[in-house]
Each structure stands twice: as structure tokens, then as C-alpha cells.
Structure 1
Amino acid sequence: MKLNEYLNKLWRADYPAPQHEEAEASWERFASKAFEKPTKVVSWKTHWKYFSAVAASVMLVIAALQWAINAGAGADFLLVENTDETIRVFTLPDHSVVNLLPGSTLHYAENFQRDRTIKLEGEAYFEVTKDAHAPFSVACNRTITTVLGTSFNIKSLAGGGIEVALYEGSVKMEVEGAEQDWMLSPGELFVYRDAKAEVLPFRSRQRAAPLYVDFEKASLAEIAAYIQQAYGYTVMGESGILEERVTMRIRKNEPLDNIMKTITTIYDVRSNIDTLRKEITLTHER
């Protein structure tokens, strides 16, 4: 299958079945600019707007294009999906961290450290490792989000819309068919819905991911208080245990068993969880 056929197939995949005519028209507009050979020499000075429009269209789908090229060449692409009811956290080969929400999926190339391109369906929070030589791009619902190193959340909306919330760093947003792009600053929300794009402020300007609770040299008594608030369990400990200090990040909706396993491993203690009384007792290893 030829390259343009691969790209055609990928392009149409972003359109729901009822929008077949819209997908056809959109593809024809792009293909006529990207694949047709010019019939005459065109002056750059007199037709710079035309070339700019073509370049914008090509750049907008560069992630999809790379995906199609590699797929056609038999390159390995990896699928990550979250079929659980809690957030799935995993680390990409470049050490960027992805928090994939339930029901979401993404594809990334096996050679991701050289080609940091992702195709997302659903919602995910990203903490991107900086690499000035390899921009990090996320394709979702006919938009491209490009960053060098930052923290942001992407959520696809029903009907082909998208929301991008920026917490740290900067990102550039590109939309299929739009002549402009949008640069976001921390605390800004990009919304694309019903073929309209806007940038809005949002309340949270914190640097830490909203999906986490951070503890910096906190006592286990402080973490015990958080567990009681978030999970409804009272944590008790033998003499001196709750005075121990730890630096750790707890993901919201993290299973309580995982949190206790981390604590018991760090301090070489045992935990007894009484689900009926909703109590946790920490004791020293004998």
C-alpha cells in the first residue's frame, strides 16, 4: 500500500462513520496540496500564503505521517490501554511519565527515544522529559500538541473536540485546517469544540500533577492522616513508627494495598489491615 493510502486510512479514522462526506472532503483538500505535482513554477514571493497553508497542513499531520511511514515499513508500534477503573501510570522509553485514565489508549513507536510521537484516544496526564532535539507530540482528535518538556493534561471530547490543560512549561496547539496556532502558558486551558478554538484560564496553577499528592520529608503520622481522609482507615503504629519521615508521591485513587506495601518495604515493618474496623496497625518486624 502506498504512503498516501496509509495516511488516507489514518486520516479517516479520526472521523465518526456518520461524517463520511466531511472526512472525504477534508482528505481531498489535504491530498490535493500534499501529493499533487505542480503544473508550473510558482513564485514564492507572490504565492507565499499558498505555500504557508500547505506547510501548515503538512506539519499538522506530521505525527500521523510518521506513524503511517513506520507502519508501512513494518516498524513495531506499541499499544497501551487502560481497561481498569483506576488511573494507569507508566513510563515511556524517554523517561516521560504518562497517567492514562480508564478507557483510554495510546500508540507509540518502539524507537520512541528518536521519534517522540503519540496517538491518544481518551484522556492522559503527561510529565514530559526535556529533549531539545526531539519534540514530544501528541495527536488527538485532529489536533497536534507539541512540547519540549512540560506537564499537561489532554482530554478528548465527544464529537471530536479536545481540552488541553497546561500546568508547567509551554505547548503549541495546532488544529487541522486552521491558519494559526496557539501557544499556551501555565494555567491556561485550550478548548476545541464544534470547529471553534479558544484559550481560557483555569483555577489550578500548581506545579505538581493534580493526580498526585506529594509528601516532602513528611512523618508517617501525616501520611496516616491522609489515608484516614482519603480511604477512611485509621493508621496506628508501635512506638516510633509514625515518627519516621519519608518523601513520596501518592497517586490519587492508588489502591490502599499499594501504599501500605511501599511503606512497609521502606521501613521494614508489617501492616495488619482490618477491613471490618477499617484500621491499619504497623508493627516492627520481629
Structure 2
Amino acid sequence: MKQENIKILFERYLTGKTTQQEEKILMDYLADDANEDSEFHAVMENAWKKQAEKTDYSTEANQGLAKIWDKIEAQQKRSSWLSPILKYAAAIAVIISATLGWYTYQKAQKPARNAITLLTKMTLKGEKVKLVLPDSSVVYLSAGSKLVWPSHFIKGSLRNIKLEGEAFFEVKRDPSSPFIVHSGTMQTQVLGTSFNIYAYPKDHTFSVAVRTGKVKVSANSKGKLKQLSLLTPGMKLLYHLKEQNYSVGTAGIADVNAWVKNSFVFKDATLPNILLSLERYYNVNIELKSNKLSQCRFNATFSNKSINHVMEEIHIMSGKHIQYKIDTVTKKITVWGEECQ
């Protein structure tokens, strides 16, 4: 076939207008080493350069490219990435992928993308940090917590991270890449929103509270993922690990991430749970001496208070029935009493 006809056929192929017979003619031409015509291949070289910046490594991209390669390799059993003919065939695959609705693919000579590695951040008692994830989502990690996330996210794929402890999330919206936080058997999935997760394994109760957007909470039971609830701003889900049941209530919008600004809010919380949280927040050890105080419940907010002031307020709220002693040297607090008010 004349060079001019091949060029026309090539242009039609790029726009997806070739018939099966015309496509076979072009593939036969590319597979024949005798057709290394510099003028014609200059056209493909130019097309190659125009696509250099368009790269996608998704499954769809690989499948689209595989379809083209199968057609080329059917004509030529001897395959070599160093062959100029196959280099330009790859260029065609890139352009056709974009034209026919597939994703573009990077040229063969470009190094493979960096492998995804997992990054981990752990906080000590009394410590909290602000982290920015690869997708620009922001995480405020509370004391005594652990966060694990990938070094980069893949567009169009799930953004999976793992949390043990407490964190407040401000998730960058991306409808094509749902953001999922794994906490024990629980999964919290969003597209773009802000919410708080409390998931310390030793506490036996996890919670998810929403400040903005919409959040789907699920739990894995016996290998099956079951949706528990869909939460909107001002809603809070409590999940009891031992009983494997949950309840949904309300939460003040401003209270959802109050701890980020050193304000600690407790709603109908038992004294042991309050003391456990205070241990993490203030990096102290608290020993509760009386079992009778375990059933005491409080509604309280402590904003920018020292641990001394917090313990004194608990003492007053109990009608002075709860006693305490602070050892500043060992950072140990002993709590005792007979009853609550």
C-alpha cells in the first residue's frame, strides 16, 4: 500500500473510524520490519510527544492497552520493546485509548511508578498532631493514637487508611475515590466531609460523629460487612464492641472536634471512661480505688484547663464525694470515694 494511503489510514485509526479490514491492514504494516519508513514514523513520533504528559495506571488503562497489544502481537510473534516499530505501536495504543474512551498509558521507556508504601504515625499520651495526607486531606491525631496510610493514593481507587485511637478528619472531596477509615471491625466511608472517630480498643466502645457532609458507618461481623447507619451533621454513632450493637444519637456540631482546641466534652460519660480519656489527654496515670464510683456519670466540658483544675471540677460536680490526690513527681492521680451525688 502507498505511504499516503497508510497515513490516511493511520489518521482514521486515531479517531476510531477504521473498519476491521482497514485495521488489519495497518497492523500488518506495523508488524513488518521492512516498513520502517522515516517519514511515516515521524508522524507517529509527533503524536507520541503530544501524549507524553497523559499518564494513567488504572486497571482500565491496562485493559485498554492490552486489547491493542493483542492485535499487534497477533501479527508479529517476535516482540521487543526496543524495536522502533513496537515503540510507535505503543504510541498508537496511547492515542487510541484516549480517542475510543479508554485511558491513556505511559510510553514503554518511562520508569514504572513508585511502589506504594505504608506510613505510620503514633502519638504519645498528652500529644496531638496535625497530618496532611497525600490527597490533601487533613487529620488531627489525638493522644495515644496510631494512624496508618499509603504514601500516595491512586485516582479512581479507594483511599484506605487505618486508625487506632481518636482522630478528626477533614477529607478532600473526590467522588471517584471514596475515603475509608478502618478501625477494628468498623469501617467509616466518606467522599468529602469532616468527622471524628473515637476508636481506642481498650475502651470497648467506638464512636463516629459528623461535623459536615455525610458518613456511612459499617461493621464487619463474621466476615460480612454490614451497614450500620448513614450519619449527617450533628449525628453520632456509638458501637459497643463486646455486644456488637450500636445506637445513634445527637452531638453538638461544635463538640465534634472540640478536643482539637483543647476542649474536652463528655456527655453522660461514666467516671472510668472520663478518667481514661484524661490519662491520654494529659499524660498522667489515674488509679480509681473505689468500685462504687464506676457507675458515676457526668456531663462536663473542660476547656483549656490544667489537670489540677479538671480534677477539682470533678470533685465539685460529685458534691465533693469524689476525692483525689495528685503526685506531681510520678504524675499519678489517685481517686476514691463512697458515692456520687
Normalized against structure 2, the TM-score is what?
Answer: 0.38
Structure with max Cα Rg: 2
Structure (1 or 2) with the greater helix fraction: 2
